[in-house]
Structure 1
Amino acid sequence: MVKNALQAQLLKAGLVDNKKAKKLSKQAQHEQRTGQSNKEEIKAQIAQNQQSKQEKDLTLNAKKQEEIEAKTLKSNVQQMIQQHKVKETNGDISYQFIDENKVKKIYIHQQAYNALVSGSLVVAKDASSYALLPKALAERIEQKLEGFILWNKSDENTQTTDEEDPYAAYVIPDDLMW
């Protein structure tokens, strides 16, 4: 009467009665003979799953490609900084600037200090330290990828003054040595 062990277990547990078990077994036999199962539904579901998997794979590949491009650009900028940084800048004069809301200090010689104050040199973030770069290169780097140029004096020189300010004629230098 009962075809398989699962049906027997379900009957013993009382989850299925004899009528329902017979009906299900007859229905399964009929589908086997006629070949009328829900193949079309299964095929549609498989096609839908494949399509969703392809879309998911495309988005993952696009994300990976963007990450690779970002890493490549970052390494190119690092290489530009390494190749074109001003060498032999060590000296006795301290120059302070802000990096990630912290005041950082580098020691440079007088020529480099004057160039930084005038705006012809810029402080950039190197792999492990800081580098001094020419202004033209720093502008190209900033156009490609932001975040490497830390201190650009030429940006600060474009401040406008109020015409009614009585102290407008007195320029306050920010490069005083204390």
Structure 2
Amino acid sequence: MVKNALQAQLLKAGLVDNKKAKKLSKQAQHESRTGQSQEAEIKAKIAQDQQQKLQKDQSLNQEKQRILDEKALQAAIIQMISQHKIKDFDGDINYQFIDDKKIKKVYINQQVYNALVSGSLVIAKDHDSYAYLPKALAERIEQKMTGFILVDNSQKNTEITAEDDPYAAYVIPDDLMW
């Protein structure tokens, strides 16, 4: 049971627990018997504990807010992907790409295939499937958050071969079929 109002306030504020409150009451009894007073030290310790608790709470709140902002950004990107993806892509031409260290194969039509090879379309992750997006949208998504764009052939098309490369004249096409 709490013996004075200060201990009750400390318990209510969550700065001390029952064990600490008993210790403080024993210290107070000891001080009253011996005539020593450490109230200033106790108040300074309480203020320091309160400041530490406030800092800890602020850091936890900042972390929670960062996580919420990240989730909101992911949801916005997923919504952008679902709104702007190309819906008519079914065909009989297979296109292979790497997703999470695994080779994936999709069947697409010739128009989408040509756009993927030229770099005007990209492949993005859409939940458990893949979406075909225009390059401009993919750049906006990549600026906001990385990890959604899987295949972007526009960077391969802009690579310049070295002048001293003996095989520079022999370009291997990306759309080579076996």
Which interval holds the TM-score relative to the shorter structure? Answer: 0.7 to 0.9
TM-score, with normalisation over the residues of structure 2?
A: 0.79
The correspondence of residues 102-117 of structure 1 with structure 2, limited to 5 A, is 102-117=102-117
Aligned partner letter, 1:43:
K
Offset at 1:37?
3.0
Contact 2:118/2:157 (8 A) holds in 1: no
Distance 1:168 1:132 in 2: 31
CA gap of 1:34–1:82, structure 2 versus 1, over 3 A, is same
Q: Equivalent residue for 1:18?
A: none
TM-score, with normalisation over the residues of structure 1?
A: 0.79
Q: Equivalent residue for 1:168?
A: 168
Structure 1, unaligned runs of 5 or more: 1-26
**Deviation digits for residues 19-52 of structure 1 (CA, Å, limit 9, x no counterpart):** xxxxxxxx98784379753222211111111000
Name which of structure 1's ranges 109-118 and 158-167 shifts more when overlaid on structure 2: 158-167
The correspondence of residues 71-82 of structure 1 with structure 2, limited to 5 A, is 71-82=71-82
Offset at 1:148?
0.5
Offset at 1:101?
1.6
3-state SS in 1 of match to 2:170: coil
CA gap of 1:125–1:30, structure 2 versus 1, over 3 A, is closer
Q: Equivalent residue for 1:4?
A: none
Aligned partner letter, 1:132:
Y
Distance 1:154 1:71 in 2: 29
Structure 2, unaligned runs of 5 or more: 1-26
CA gap of 1:90–1:43, structure 2 versus 1, over 3 A, is same
Q: Equivalent residue for 1:6?
A: none
Aligned partner letter, 1:49:
D
3-state SS in 1 of match to 2:62: helix
Q: Kindly, what percent of the aligned residue pairs are identical?
A: 66
3-state SS in 1 of match to 2:95: strand
> Which 4+ residue blocks in structure 1 deviate beyond 6 angstroms?
27-30
Q: Equivalent residue for 1:83?
A: 83
Contact 2:123/2:149 (8 A) holds in 1: yes
Q: Equivalent residue for 2:32?
A: 32
Q: Does 1:64 align with 2:56?
A: no
Distance 1:149 1:28 in 2: 66
Structure with bigger gyration radius = 1
Distance 1:128 1:29 in 2: 67
Q: How many residue pairs are counted as aligned between the two chains?
A: 152
Distance 1:90 1:30 in 2: 85
